[in-house]
Chains A and B, each alone.
Chain A
């Protein structure tokens, strides 16, 4: 059934994306930070429109998209991330460019792409949504046309992204060959009944699809683009990349794996577990050697993705109940991670606006010149490292608890040990901020109210989620339930 009323949030995003370009054409002298605050206001409207769908019965759109609580969860996340990114960009962009409308427009389309990835129930629709997000990001990463770093990063991202898309498409076509269909339900049904002589094709299809999606969330060994893109992109886009892009990837992965692939887990679960282990070990070890803050965050976020792949592997090893718990825990951790990351970037953005230096030593003496920012960064990093009271501890605990199946204990062990190693490189950052004197001539400075408020709110969020995770968990659990409702995952698992 064609119920066009299901996509009001996307209409808002896309409409505003077009409108803002028009606005800048008509009033070219409008201050660029006004555009940012305008778009921030739009994303609040988008958030409100998304939440209006909360708790309604799931509705399908022609069998390819579905609006349920899971979609709503990611719509709200997308709107929230875009909101914060707009705040981060306001002053940064105003100083650097005279045409900002495309930037904000593309942010909104990227956010819409993310919501659609969460809503997709059909392989090609999912692919298109993913490309909508990717194309917006390719341009955003290279937005400063005169900045070589930004250009180079964008170029690498585009080329490798194309490569990854090709792999994903090839995987999808193999899967189509196997199952004769592309909707998740039909794929699940066909996978459950496929004969044993299609194993090779199935494995190839899963490997290719996991590679394509692994690229999106930057899992090892498909991560190579991330450090360069993180360092070259405009700083707010780095924040966007490390939150929205990963969240969107996991949205797609969760619906795909719980609705389409769950009937044939034996062929992919080991693969996810291996990729998770590689990602955890690799991301955390390489992070130790970094001297650039954004590169450090890139590698640390690669490690975080590794942790998040652990419950995805658990989807394949456990029964429906465990899969449900793992999904909810993953959503919780993802959200906590997003809040902490945005907190770190809000503070970093404020410092960067002042110093223009994104190396770790560039933060030296921050505790003296701006103790508030130093505190926000410290708390975010503590949260990444999984220290109690901050979000990362509780969410990681629940995630590992949900995934602690006998088959995955080795992986959980690796993850716990890696969390310890991660503390080492987070301490390197804190050491610069607290131990060293500020550079010659640096004085105490003020933070713009918007950034200050964003950083403070996100920091409190990090502490709140860590101290009392129940409300957020209930929301995540509600979203996860949508994936496991009656009729959503009805099929028997394939027997070998």
Chain B
């Protein structure tokens, strides 16, 4: 199968979604087998696509194929796919993780209500996400972008009965929609000057200087706002931790490995245009750095396993933006890939803990689980070490790449800030592992009933653990060549303007990177060893206000609530009050019922309300006419 048929990867889960949505509830086992079969087919089909892609020419030429969606006058809206190395990496990540998550869900969601619906939406998500990375134009990308948002909304709110879940779904939807409006405005701006939605055309025009500098700058900043919203960068980060209300496999797939990296993908995809207006690169880097550091701190005081992982995800997305901001899509995409594997692993392992302990996910109740859940514990440890950046696990290589490119682009100040974020990462990861798996159980009752989860859940864990160990090695030229690639990661994914480059092992950076990781690990280990909390409690008591600030996540939520209450809602209240009492009324809401039929005409004629209505019409005419005469007369 050729790469031009890559759309099948999306079409197959989409078909499965239709079948499951319509008939899922009548199928045996809620049709989970159909979902798994569909995503397994996509996963399997990825390899012929990859092989075909690599066998053509130098193996790097993009593939395109397009059909016309709608023609409007002279303006046509073609919808097509575009396959290049960035797409290939995304496809690999999406199909692999989606496949594993589907299998895992069979165990995790067992016995849940609306089991069939869960698998149906999961297929819709996979299809939309694959469509998003295949889209060759911004319009199709935007459609897919909204679709994955919709799936995320549906899945976060999967437990309708839980009020917090629905609130979280709404929050996620609304917050990301703010970013989406930015994205849409950016797309419209680009389209207006370029006359096309095609991404490659737009990039070409941008590089040729077709856009004015300020114009392009504004447009790209709007695009970046869209990316920030989707990838939960500060100040849009508030929705992602709440999104953990969804079922854990959803957190692994959507809120760690795939959907939230759509923003990173978009920035990397449009990077040539960002480079034309290179002020934006600094913005991207700073946003990434701020996010990485702030969320690193926020993860400190969380006790819910999934929330720690959520803040960690936001932070790692910050790392990816930092790499993109350094003009290095190879480093950014590399970290995206390794992170997808080890973070999906961590989330699934957390899900395994939740099932094994019968729905407990607060560290304050857990501890000492390694003995009870050896596979989950071991795989969680592998994921943690990869996240902390310990060699030779995946996270080490990709983080090291980012530090190297960051040094080249921005110099020591950026490197030291990101290095600090790396220490924080290692710190909270260690804390998470120690408090969950080591020491004595804090609640012996829970520990007593804890058992290892069935193979349908541990299987995906083991597979992802394997990937978390080895996936970092593709950075090496020899590994890439052995796999049939044109070389290492940097020789596969690169900007045309930069050209491919091989991985250079820099002992100083690698050493520093290891030291940073160990620093975080040992500090955390010293504080929490054996699951003891007295040292950390003393620390919290030493600076209570700082601790409060961390527990309350720097008060972002409170700030936004106030802004909405006093801002939009206040404004709309004023306008609505004006409409009611000055030009309109609420007569139908009550007064009519209490007056007699005969009296009401008189009553209402005298109440002065109808004249108010008429007045508004007349005033409207007069004001408009006067305005017209002043303007044009």
Using a CB–CB cutoff of 8 Å, the interface residues on chain A facing chain B are 146, 148-149, 151-153, 155-156, 159-160, 163-164, 167, 199-200, 203-204, 206-208, 210-211, 215, 220-222, 224-225, 227-228, 231-232, 266-267, 270-271, 274-275, 282, 285-286, 288-289, 321, 324-325, 328-329, 367, 387-389, 393-394, 397-398, 400-402, 404, 409, 412-413, 416-417, 419-421, 423-424, 427, 431, 434-435, 468-470, 473, 477
Contact = CB atoms under 8 A, between A and B. Distances in A.
B610 A434 contact: no
A452 to B, nearest CB: 16
B160 A203 contact: no
B417 interface: no
Interface residues of B, number: 64
Contact of B625 (A160, A203, A232): A203
Interface string B600-633: 1100100000100110111111001101110111
Contact of A221 (B571, B573, B593, B616): B616
Contact of B624 (A146, A153, A274, A401): A274
Nearest to A404: B192
Contacts of A155: 601, 604
Given A324-B73, A412-B188, A423 B174 contact: yes
27 contacts: A146-B597, A148-B592, A152-B604, A155-B604, A156-B610, A160-B610, A160-B617, A164-B617, A167-B621, A203-B628, A207-B624, A224-B613, A224-B617, A274-B627, A282-B579, A285-B572, A288-B568, A325-B72, A387-B150, A401-B72, A420-B178, A420-B181, A423-B174, A424-B174, A468-B69, A473-B70, A473-B72
Contacts of A427: 170, 173-174
B142 A207 contact: no
Nearest to A290: B576
Given A149-B588, A163-B617, A200-B633, A423 B177 contact: yes
Contacts of A146: 597
Contacts of B538: none
Main secondary structure of the interface of A (DSSP, over half): helix
A161 to B, nearest CB: 10
A388 B191 CA distance: 18
Contact of B617 (A221, A231, A434, A435): A221
Nearest to A329: B72
A152 B572 CA distance: 27
Contacts of B619: 221
Contact of B592 (A152, A221, A321): A152
A207 B621 contact: yes
A289 B621 CA distance: 27
Which 4 pairs of residues, A with B, have the shortest CB-CB distance? Answer: A221-B620, A289-B576, A388-B143, A203-B628
A387 B142 CA distance: 10
Given A199-B633, A420-B178, 10 more contacts: A151-B600, A207-B625, A274-B624, A285-B572, A328-B72, A389-B143, A397-B139, A404-B188, A434-B160, A468-B70
B147 A271 contact: no
A152 B629 contact: no
Given A367-B160, A431-B166, A270 B583 contact: no
Contacts of B625: 203-204, 207
Given A160-B614, A267-B628, A224 B584 contact: yes
Contacts of B170: 427, 431
A208 to B, nearest CB: 6
Interface in B72-87: 72-73, 75
Interface in B460-512: none
- Chain A CB within 10 Å — which of B569, B588, B627 has the most? B588
Given A160-B614, A321-B73, A473-B72, A199 B632 contact: yes
B562 interface: no
